Amino acid sequence: MKRSILLLLSFAVTAWGCTPEKQPGVEEIIEIPTVGDLTNDSDDNIANTSFKSTITITFAASGASVAGDDAGIVKINGNQVTATNTGSDAIKYVLTGTSDNGFFKLYSGKKQALVLKDLNLTNPSGAAINNQSKKRTFVVLEGTNKLADGATYTMSGTEDQKAAFFSEAQLIFSGDGSLTVTATGKAGISSDDYIRFLGKQTVNVSSSAGHGIRGKDYIRVDDGIINVAVSADMKKGFSSDSLVRITGGTTVMKITGNAAYDEEDKDYTSSGGIKADKVFEMTGGTIFALGGLESGASLTQACYQASSWSTNKYYSITVGEDTYVFKTPSSGGTKLVVSGASKPEVKSNVTVSGGTEIFGGYGVVNGTVSGGSEVTLSSYTNSGSGPGGRW
């Protein structure tokens, strides 16, 4: 059975709903892809795209080098690499090597694949990867990869670069490697189209300045492990102007930012785990929220609440055969909210041994759990919003 787990450690309080009711002030939901539309979209399967050539770019202290570029589309200045594909063929780019002062920028009118193969790339003045192509972009992760931006971005004309990994086009992740994105200037990963996670990849994103992962049209998680940590005020783990859908994999979020006054919106805006302006869907997934999700979202399954929770304690949540453990923060929201394919079982003050710690010990995956007291759950519905949201 495909497993879909979402652990949301949201330390700031936000408002959210657990029913598909229309939220006050939210426009009617239109032109949102259905489950079938997305599931059957064969164009997102990289196996259905033919690539005419493969270009390998290797970053190094002495400067980047290129192999396989018979058409001369790649220009290099130290470790600043720009590829401009004006031809009619799809190209696969393999990015590898290390640089603490470089970037990869892409212009193209055709599809492309970016294979990140043990890449460690930092751009201290902007996006490490800046995809200006508006065509579907496959991101294949092999080995261990790291991307980072800088605290200040140097902009180029009117071009966007909204994240350490930015794309104008769709980003479809696959592979069995890992990617760690550390953002201190803007968001972690951002697309002006949609972002989809299809493979067995592990993606770790932390941002102290922007959203963790933003897909303007939608974000979909079908498989893999997605870990997101956001500490910036008003920012979200996942952010979309339309849809967030989780159908598989494991998604863990740690949200520590506060609410703040937004000068542009002239209102208070909270931080939160998931912001989906039209709909948030989980099909059989599991959620645990200390605080919650942004207002305007909805879940397509029942939610439950505990009226309170204890600080600095290990809690477990079990849905079916899956059990996950996390440690509550020293402060946070007043209610604990959970949702699953069936009613979850929650225990407080459990003992955990072994396993792998994530987010500095706030979560444990594949640990052995014992003891604890069962937490009484009741039905939950959203009850309003305000500065930072309220329960």
> 157-195: per-residue pLDDT in tens?
888 899 999 999 999 999 999 999 999 999 999 999 999
- CA 42 from chain center: how many Å? 22
Query: Is residue 9 in some structural domain?
Result: yes
131 and 93 Cβ atoms separated by less than 8 Å: no
Query: Is residue 333 in some structural domain?
Result: yes
Reduced to 3 states (helix: H, G, I; strand: E, B; else coil), residue 42 is helix
Which residues have CB under 8 Å from 41's CB, separation 6+?
none
- For 302, the token pair is 């029942």
**103-108 and 80-85 beta bridge pairing:** parallel
Residue found under tokens 């709909």: 279
Query: Is residue 289 in some structural domain?
Result: yes
Q: Count of domains in the chain?
A: 1
- pLDDT at position 2 over 60: no
Question: Which one of 164-178, 284-298, 361-375 scores highest in mean pLDDT?
Answer: 164-178
Query: Is residue 145 in some structural domain?
Result: no
Query: Is residue 194 in some structural domain?
Result: no
pTM for the model: 0.83
**336-339 and 286-290 beta bridge pairing:** antiparallel
| Candidate from 33-37, 112-116, 233-237, 351-355 with smallest mean pLDDT | 33-37
- For 365, the token pair is 């995956």
98 and 134 Cβ atoms separated by less than 8 Å: no
Range of the domain at 370: 1-32+242-248+272-383
Reduced to 3 states (helix: H, G, I; strand: E, B; else coil), residue 63 is coil
Q: What is the pLDDT of residue 170?
A: 97
Reduced to 3 states (helix: H, G, I; strand: E, B; else coil), residue 36 is helix
- For 311, the token pair is 């600080």
**Within the chain, where are the H helices?**
35-39
- pLDDT at position 70 over 90: yes
Query: Is residue 170 in some structural domain?
Result: no
Reduced to 3 states (helix: H, G, I; strand: E, B; else coil), residue 293 is coil
91 and 110 Cβ atoms separated by less than 8 Å: yes
| Rounded distance between C-alpha atoms, residue 333 and residue 38, angstroms | 34
**Within 191-232, where are the H helices?**
none
pLDDT band at 197 (very low <50, low <70, confident <90, very high): very high
Query: Is residue 43 in some structural domain?
Result: no
238 and 219 Cβ atoms separated by less than 8 Å: yes
182 and 204 Cβ atoms separated by less than 8 Å: no
Query: Is residue 323 in some structural domain?
Result: yes
